[in-house]
Amino acid sequence: MNKSLPESHGDVAPGDELGPADVPHAIRGYLVGLALATLLTCVSFYIARTELVWQPSIPIALSVLALAQMGVHLVFFLHITSGPDNVNNVMALAFGLLIVVLLVFGSLWIMLHLDHNVMPMERLMQMQR
């Protein structure tokens, strides 16, 4: 175990290291995250442009790569892990995701049910005569 970390410290994300002696380790963590993010981006562009991949599977593959990209950013750059000292960060992330899901599905529900509450154009034209 790293001597500069307290014994009560749980899961440590790259970049959460303590002390000036751990700066090279922190930089290495950021560089690993950068390399993974770059690799995932290049693979996404390759899959989108190649003919080697079955065409109907491309949106699913891009979605999986996007989720992997988000995971890399959360762990390597935002330092959100499952450690006991990171509960507030995980709860804030979960709350943010809940708000985004509510906004997206609420907007879709409103748009899909908008025609139910709007008067048809033919009837509106009859009322104006």
DSSP output for 27-79:
HHHHHHHHHHHHHHHHHHHHHHH-SSS-GGGHHHHHHHHHHHHHHHIIIIIS-
- Whether 14 and 35 map to the same domain: the answer is yes
- Whether 112 and 63 map to the same domain: the answer is no
Instruction: Give tens-digit pLDDT for 17-32.
Output: 566 777 888 889 899 9
Looking at residue 1, what is its pLDDT? 45
- Whether 49 and 71 map to the same domain: the answer is yes
Instruction: Give tens-digit pLDDT for 45-101.
Output: 999 999 988 999 999 999 999 999 999 998 998 888 877 777 888 888 899 999 999
- Whether 101 and 123 map to the same domain: the answer is yes
Domain membership of residue 18 as a residue range: 1-81
CA distance 37 to 76: 10
Picking from 66, 81, 96, the residue at the C-terminal end of a domain is 81
- Whether 72 and 92 map to the same domain: the answer is no
- Residue 124: band (very low, low, confident or very high) from pLDDT cuts 50, 70, 90: confident
- Whether 89 and 76 map to the same domain: the answer is no
- Whether 5 and 35 map to the same domain: the answer is yes
- Whether 46 and 67 map to the same domain: the answer is yes
Looking at residue 13, what is its pLDDT? 58
- Whether 72 and 118 map to the same domain: the answer is no
CA distance 87 to 97: 15
- Whether 19 and 62 map to the same domain: the answer is yes
- Whether 76 and 88 map to the same domain: the answer is no
Provide the domain count of the chain. Answer: 2
Picking from 45, 65, 81, the residue at the C-terminal end of a domain is 81
- Whether 12 and 63 map to the same domain: the answer is yes
